[in-house]
Amino acid sequence: MNIELFSKNALVGAATQGIGAGIALELAKCGANVTVMARNETKLKEIVSLLPVINSGQKHEYLVADFSDFEEYRKIITEYFSHHSIDILVNNTNGPEPGLALDKNVDDYQKAFDLLFKTVCETTLLALPHMIKQKNGRIINVSSLSVKEPINNLSLSNSIRSAVIAWAKTLSNEVAQHQVTVNNILTGYFDTERIQNLIRHESQQTGKSQEEIKKARENKIPMKRLGKTEEYGHLAAFLASEYSAYLTGTSIPLDGGLNNTY
């Protein structure tokens, strides 16, 4: 199977590191024109310089936007879509702060809703008119295994990501007639800065060493290791391609078998 995304335009959120960067790199390797989006312009320039160019017409760009400030984000993303159209949208944001349900208040949940739900909804609704018009489009939501089984100490993420999954399934049924697919990837444990931050937070709370906590997570995974970001990019590229044209409304675990051990 040779995935070719030549002349396809992709927008990838939170793409300066981790899973977002892994996806952006793989889409670029398959020939797509990739726009990476995040809040740090310096890091955005760095990742753009690393994206491969495999054909003469391929071009990569960046968009500075902060997901944590929804009103400002709305202005930026609306302006972007007034001049651009995309074929592949990867909804990916930085995660909310970890914490127990008893430690969070309603304002914390509102901030998480703005971050995880409203940005995804706003971006998708702006991307859809072009996709519907051309009768082709791919929407890929980066989510978490926590929508199937809540993860301790991630009360905000557990709650809001579940709402995104329900909305995405509803949307997928509505846009399927236009040959636009909507799929979710349920992320397991990947070797990213995000998981290192979560491990540090857990270490501070429990007094356990970070190495002990990391090893315990790896031992839960049948493959006994964390995922690699390029492995994430492989699945995203497949979902972005014509090979997945009849696959929509799904939530695919990418977790080294962890989901099967619940």
pTM, whole model, 2 decimals? 0.93
CA 30 – CA 27 distance, rounded (Å) = 5
Q: Which pLDDT does position 260 carry in this prediction?
A: 60
| pLDDT band of 163, cuts 50, 70, 90 | very high
Task: Please say whether the beta carbons of 145 and 97 come within 8 A.
Answer: no
Residues 180-232 have pLDDT tens digits of 999 999 999 998 887 888 788 888 888 999 999 999 989 999 999 999 999 99
Q: How much is the average pLDDT of 45-58? A: 96
Residues 69-110 have pLDDT tens digits of 999 999 999 999 999 999 999 999 988 888 899 999 999 999
CATH class of 9-190+228-261: alpha beta
SS3 content of the chain, % helix, strand, coil (to 5): 50, 15, 30
3-state secondary structure of 243: helix
State the chain's maximal CA–CA distance in angstroms.
Answer: 55
What number of H helices and E strands is found in the chain? 9, 7
Angle between helix axes 18-29 and 41-50 (nearest 10 degrees) is 30
Q: Is the pLDDT of residue 176 over 50?
A: yes
How is the chain split into domains, by residue range? Answer: 9-190+228-261
Q: Which pLDDT does position 262 carry in this prediction?
A: 43
Q: Which pLDDT does position 116 carry in this prediction?
A: 97
